[in-house]
Each structure stands twice: as C-alpha cells, then as structure tokens.
Amino acid sequence: MLQPKDAINAYFSSSRDQQPQSLTEIDHIVFGIGSSLNSWPERRDYVKLWWDTQRMRGCVFVDQPLSALENSTDSHLLPPICVSEDTSRFKYTCRGGDRRAIRIARCVLETVRMFNNSSHEVRWYVFGDDDTIFIPENLARTLSKYDHRSWYYIGAASEIYESNRVFGNDMAFGGGGIALSSSLANVLAKIFDSCIERYPYLYGGDARIHACVLELGVGLSHEPGFHQFDLNGNALGILTSHSTRPLVSLHHMSHLDPLFPNSTTFSGFQHLFSAVEIDPLRILQLSVCYDRQYSWTISVSWGYTVQIESRHMFLRDVLRTQETFRPWQNFGGLASVYTFNTREYDPDPCKRPVTFFMEHVSSNPGDGTITSVYKQAYENCTYDPISSPRKIEEIRVFSTRFDPDIEQLKAPRRQCCDILPTSSTDVKVMEIGIRECKEDELIYMHP
C-alpha cells in the first residue's frame, strides 16, 4: 500500500524524464491524405510535386477503389492508395454539410492503425487534403522544435476572421495540415470512434479531430507556416508577407491565379518548387533593404519576387499584407476581415510596387553561393528613366543556404540585405546580397 506521501507523489507525477531528441527527419513522419475517387485524378499532380517515395510513408484515402489504370499511372511517384473504411454507422446531422467529413476525420484512426507497429520509428502523423502542398523539409524542421514524446496538436487557423468565428479560432484547419505527435495520435486513435459519435452536428473532419483532442486535454500549438489559404484570386500579397517561420504548407491552390506570369496554376507551383529544391527553408523568407540614393524600399521574398517601392516605407508598413486577393466566401460585412494586417493594393498597376518574378535559381557547389534571378513583370506605364525603379530589368540575389538550428527556429530573426556594387556593366541590372543581421543592426533607411 502506498503511504500518503507516495500516493500524493503518484497522483501528481508527470511523464518520465526524457533525454533530448535528435532532429526530426522526413522519414519520421507518416502522412494521411484525404481524397476521393472524383477528386484524386485532378489533384494527384499536386501531391506528386512534394511527395518523395524513397523517403516518405503514408496513404491517400479514397472512398472507392480506383480503376486499374488510375491506380497504376505514375503510382511509383505517389503515396499508396487506401480505401477508407465504411462510416455509415456514424450519424451526420450538420445542415448544409457533407457526411464524408466523418470519413476524412477517421483518416487519423486508420493511419495510426496502419503504422503504429512500424519497424521504423514514427514520431509524427501529419494529415492534409489532396490539394494540400507540403514543403517536407520545412515540415520536418518545424516539428523538430517539439518533442514527439509529449502530446502536441499543431497547425493553424484560417486567414478569415469569420471562418474562425464559425469553426474555431483554436482549431488546426485540415487543409493547412494537422500534425499530431505519435504519443498523442496513438491515444487519440483508441478513443476516436467513441468520441466522434458525440459530435454528429460538426461540419468538417478537422472539427471532429479538434473536439476529440480537446477531450484529451490538449490545445493547439499554433505554427504560422501552415496555411489554410481560404482565399481566391491573386496570392501575391500573402506570399510576399510571409512570417519568419518556415513555409510548411499551402492549400486551395486551384482557386488561385497563377503565381508567375505566363504560367498555369500548376506550372507556377512547379516553378516555385525549383527554388524550394535548392533552399527550402529560405523560400518566401522576406528581407528588406533600402536604396538611399533614390529612396527606394526593396523587398525580397526569396524564390518568388522582388518588389521595389519608389518611396521610403518603414519596415512595419512593408510587412502589412498587400490585399491582392479576395475572401473564400461572401460573409457579408465581415467577408474581408482578415486575421492579419493589410494594406491597399492600388487598382492602378502603375502605382503599385514594381514587381520582379523569379526566373531561375542556381547553386555554386564550389563556394556555396546561391543565385536567384528575378525579371520585371512589365506594365505599360510612363516613368522617369532616371529615378523610377522601372528602369531596372533584372535583379540578381546572392545568398547561402539557409540552415537555422532549433534555437534559431524557436526565436527566428529576419535576415538583412544590401544593394551590392553591380558586377554587370548593364545599368538595368541590380544585385542584392542577403546575410545574417549584425547583433545590433536595425532594418531602416539610414540617413
């Protein structure tokens, strides 16, 4: 029998002392992707963009078996296809909803059952839609900040205030991706079916996961690199104001305009991934520098764009998101109330920042220098050939591979940039270098 003091200690005991863990690698993660017979043929190419058969494990869950042709075409480049279990015994009472949300929610249970006895260590289970695009290296590095032996539920809410009000501001939205530590997922799987029976009125699969995680006493660990992307139209504004956290996921890409001029939506993402492959942790990281001679403000969203404002802007104003997009749905007066600060995107293209889009990225194996080249997206505007940034045709950005350690990921700091003396005789070319900021360096226009 326990003595009173021992009983008290046992009651309040926590998990055993744990030794520091090694970095999480991609092969420590198992993916569960919600799809269907109808949507998979259209979205498989998006999954193929980021899936690596040699390094990744997981399953795409569909409602019905695919035809032999659909299941064999490029199958060696894609995750295995799994047919979801029957969910007809579960009630679904959400008016205006779709009961397949139950099937999508149960991807958690079915994935854990499939892999919890794997001979290779599973640290994290990550769930998304078939139109979720993950940046796997950034996902693994982000999850390395957390100990998978503790209970973690990680993701991000919507960009739209009203979506969060309706569905939950403290919920990981499924399209942006949901990460569950293996220790939490293993327990969640045991109670999942009995738990979701209490929530027939909820709309989506992510809401059911959220409800059951809450019942286990776990709240959301918010990571802004996960993106639900409840937006339509031109994504330039939100992509060029990304946080200092690594880009982990994107979603709803087929509802967005092409990311680059003269591209389709899909080929635009292929082009973006050409930069991701060379320096994944730097993709969309924003550095801001100034040209004192012309009072230009220059914003480098690495791997995507360089924008030049022909005026001085303080950094806090640069970081406001240009409202280039439209909300996902019409919520009336709250439709354009976002969860981040915005600034106007002028309807007149000639009054907007001059934008240069990434053309190609290359790496020098000798000295490790990475060169990204950006070309101006021309608008039919009149301009002063002396003082206007429109006189610049090409911008070359030099950097080295961005490889922050765990402590830097926990407390990220924006990197600095400089306008370099150009090595080109062409006055229409600008060269920029990106580097770590000095300890007491400030990002502003120096007098």
pLDDT in tens, 348-384: 999 999 999 999 999 999 999 999 999 999 999 999 9
| Rounded alpha-carbon distances, angstroms, from residue 390 to 382, 385, 429 | 9, 8, 11
Q: How far apart, in whole angstroms, are the C-alpha atoms of residue 98 and residue 280?
A: 36
Q: Top-level CATH class of 26-222?
A: alpha beta
What pLDDT does 18 receive? 55
Q: Which residue has the tokens 């039919």?
A: 380
Residue 331 reports pLDDT greater than 70: no
What pLDDT does 14 receive? 47
Contact between residue 394 and residue 362 where contact means Cβ atoms under 8 Å apart: no
Q: How far apart, in whole angstroms, are the C-alpha atoms of residue 109 and residue 192?
A: 7
Tokens of 88: 């007809």
pLDDT class of 16 with cuts at 50, 70, 90: very low
Phi then psi for 82, rounded to 5 degrees? -125, 135
Contact between residue 343 and residue 317 where contact means Cβ atoms under 8 Å apart: yes
Q: How far apart, in whole angstroms, are the C-alpha atoms of residue 128 and residue 61?
A: 11
What pLDDT does 423 receive? 72
* pTM given for the model: 0.93
Give the lowest-confidence range in 77-81, 253-257, 287-291, 407-411: 253-257
Q: Which residue has the tokens 């293996």?
A: 182
Contact between residue 56 and residue 78 where contact means Cβ atoms under 8 Å apart: no
Q: CATH 3.90.550.50 region(s) of the chain?
A: 26-222
Q: Residue 197: which residues within 8 A CB-CB, separation 6 or more?
A: 90, 91
